[in-house]
Amino acid sequence: MNKTEFLEKLKTELNVYSSDEVDRSISFYSEMIDDRVEDGMEEEAAVESLGSIEEIVNQIKCELPLSTLLKNKAQEKFEKNKDKGGRNAVIITLLILGFPVWFPIMAGVFAILFALFVVLWSLDLSLWIVSLSGILAAVIGILSIVPAASIGLWPVIYCIGVFFVGIGATILFFYAALYTAKGIIKMSVAFIKFIKRLLVNGK
């Protein structure tokens, strides 16, 4: 396969992606082939050494957002089954007949995932609220020193105590909330990556 053929083939394989995506990868691989040829390699050998187009396309796919991947996958499946009209009809019939079975299961899975998501963020939200109420306590503590002074020394000490406890709680819970949020985001990203890999590698 020569350079033109290779790039043409890569272009066809990537045709479901945005033209910007296609242009970027075409220019990258074209540069790679040119550099190898300049280094003294035969054009065909240079193309050969880039590896299979399938591998290249898979690597590019893994970097795309999940929604694009899902859309492309559905489109691919649809195009593939277009010419197998008979089998397609059977699948559609089965999907419709099986609807009472698969729909509740799918809905259940999504509901569980969603609930998990809500629970995690509620936990984080409550930490933020505690942190905020710490600020509130500190402010009230400071403001009450003046009226407390008219009663005596002990109320003033009490107010100062409230102030420091408030500040302490704010700092402590601020970090707790921050790290919880970071953790949840990291987990979500890892989960999406996992789903992506399943989609791209699964045939």
Partner 1 sequence: MDKQLKRGMLDICVLAVLVGGDSYGYKIIQDLNTVVSISESTLYPILRRLEESGAVRVYSVEHNGRLRKYYAITDIGNQKITTFLDEWKSMMDIYAFIKGAANENE
Applying CB under 8 A, the residues found at the interface with partner 1 are: 24-25, 27-29, 31-32, 34-36, 38-39, 50-51, 55-56, 59-60, 62-63
33 in Cβ contact with 47 (< 8 Å)? yes
Q: Least distance to partner 1 from the beta carbon of 67, Å? A: 17
Q: Least distance to partner 1 from the beta carbon of 64, Å? A: 10
121-160: buried (b, 16+ CB within 10 Å) or exposed (e) per residue?
eeebeebbebbeebeebbeebeebbeebeeeeeeebeebe
Backbone angles phi, psi at 113, to 5 degrees: -60, -45
Nearer to partner 1, 12 or 122 (CB): 12
Nearer to partner 1, 12 or 59 (CB): 59
Nearer to partner 1, 36 or 162 (CB): 36
Q: Least distance to partner 1 from the beta carbon of 79, Å? A: 24
Q: Least distance to partner 1 from the beta carbon of 44, Å? A: 16
Q: Could you give the CA distance from residue 182 to residue 157 in angstroms, rounded to a whole number?
A: 38
